[in-house]
C-alpha cells in the first residue's frame, strides 16, 4: 500500500498561528519521519513563508483565488503562495465556500503555478462534480461533522465509500481524502479501509494539548 496522506488544516486556530504554526509543523515533520507517512500542513496564508522556511515539510495554502497578476486587491495570487513556499492549496472549504466558476478558476490557477490541488466537497454529488474538474485530490467533509470530534469514517462511512466510487467512475486519476471529526488512529484506519488515500483534519491535532502525541496516536494503526 502507498503511504497514506495526512493534510493538517490549521484553520485560524490560535494554537496554529505564528510561532505555533512552526511548532506544529515541526511535530508533523518528526512524526512523518518516524512513521514514513506523508504529512503536509495548511497554515494561515501569512504563515506560509515562515513555516516553509523553517520546516522541511510540504506546505499548502488554505485558499487560492482564480486570478492572475494585476488589479486584484485582497486576493490570493498563485505565484505569491508558490514563491512563499507552498506546494499546494485547498480550494472551496465548507468554511470558505466558492461558486463552481470560482472553483474552476482557482484550480486553473493552481495548475498554472504547479500547485497541488485539493477541492473540498460536502457530499457525493459535489465530490463527483469536483472530480470532473480534474484536481489532484477531492476531500469529502460533511459540514455537520466538522469540528465535532465524531469521525466521518465511522459516522457516515457511506459518504466516503460513495465518494470513492463516484470519483473512480468520473476520473480515476483523482485521489480521495476524507475529513471531519478525524482524530484517532482508528478513524484514519477506517478512512483508508473505505478507499480514501488519506485524511484532511484540523481540530483533533491543532487543538490537542500535545499535537505530536496526537499525531503519533493518529498514525499508530497504519
Ligand atoms: O479541513 C479540515 C476540516 O474541516 C475538518 O476539521 O476539526 O473536524 O478535523 P476537523
Residue of 56, 63, 75, 93 marked catalytic: 93
pLDDT tens figures, 188-214:
999 999 999 999 999 999 999 999 999
Atom number of ligand 1 nearest to Cα 120? 1
Q: Assign 1 a pLDDT band (cuts: 50, 70, 90).
A: low
Q: Kind and range of the H or E element at 79?
A: helix 78-84
Is the ipTM higher than 0.95? The answer is: yes
Residues with Cβ < 8 Å from 123, sequence gap 6 or more? Answer: 140, 142, 159
Q: Assign 61 a pLDDT band (cuts: 50, 70, 90).
A: very high
Residue 12 confidence (pLDDT): 98
- C-alpha 149/C-alpha 132 separation (Å) is 30
Q: Are 40 and 6 in contact (CB under 8 A)?
A: yes
Q: Catalytic residue at 141?
A: yes
Examine the pLDDT at 114 and tell me if it is beyond 70: yes
Residue 2 confidence (pLDDT): 78
Between the CA of 7 and the centroid of ligand 1 the distance, in Å, is: 10
- C-alpha 135/C-alpha 56 separation (Å) is 24
pLDDT tens figures, 13-42:
999 999 999 999 999 999 999 999 999 999
pTM value? 0.97
Residue that is written with C-alpha cell 477506517 in the block: 190
Q: Which residue's C-alpha comes closest to atom 2 of ligand 1?
A: 201
Atom number of ligand 1 nearest to Cα 181? 8
Residue 136 confidence (pLDDT): 98
Q: Catalytic residue at 93?
A: yes
Amino acid at each position: 500500500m502507498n503511504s497514506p496522506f495526512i493534510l493538517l488544516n490549521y484553520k485560524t486556530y490560535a494554537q496554529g498561528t505564528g510561532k505555533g504554526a512552526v511548532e506544529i509543523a515541526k511535530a508533523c515533520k518528526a512524526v512523518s519521519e518516524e512513521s514514513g507517512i506523508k504529512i503536509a500542513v495548511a497554515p494561515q496564508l501569512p504563515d506560509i513563508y515562515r513555516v516553509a522556511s523553517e520546516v522541511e515539510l510540504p506546505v499548502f495554502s488554505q485558499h487560492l483565488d482564480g486570478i492572475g497578476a494585476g488589479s486584484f486587491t485582497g486576493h490570493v495570487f498563485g505565484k505569491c503562495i508558490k514563491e512563499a513556499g507552498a506546494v499546494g492549496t485547498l480550494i472551496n472549504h465548507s468554511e470558505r465556500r466558492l461558486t463552481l466558476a470560482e472553483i474552476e478558476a482557482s484550480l486553473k490557477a493552481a495548475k498554472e503555478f504547479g500547485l497541488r490541488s485539493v477541492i473540498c466537497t460536502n457530499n457525493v454529488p459535489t465530490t463527483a462534480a469536483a472530480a470532473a474538474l480534474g484536481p489532484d485530490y477531492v476531500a469529502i467533509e460533511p459540514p455537520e461533522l466538522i469540528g465535532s470530534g465524531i469521525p466521518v469514517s465511522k459516522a457516515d462511512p457511506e459518504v466516503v465509500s460513495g465518494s470513492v466510487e463516484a470519483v473512480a467512475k468520473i476520473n480515476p486519476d483523482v485521489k480521495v481524502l476524507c475529513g471531519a471529526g478525524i482524530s484517532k488512529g482508528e478513524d484514519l484506519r477506517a478512512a483508508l479501509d473505505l478507499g480514501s488515500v488519506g485524511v484532511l483534519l484540523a481540530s483533533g491535532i491543532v487543538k490537542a494539548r500535545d499535537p505530536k502525541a496526537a499525531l503519533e496516536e493518529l498514525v499508530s494503526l497504519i
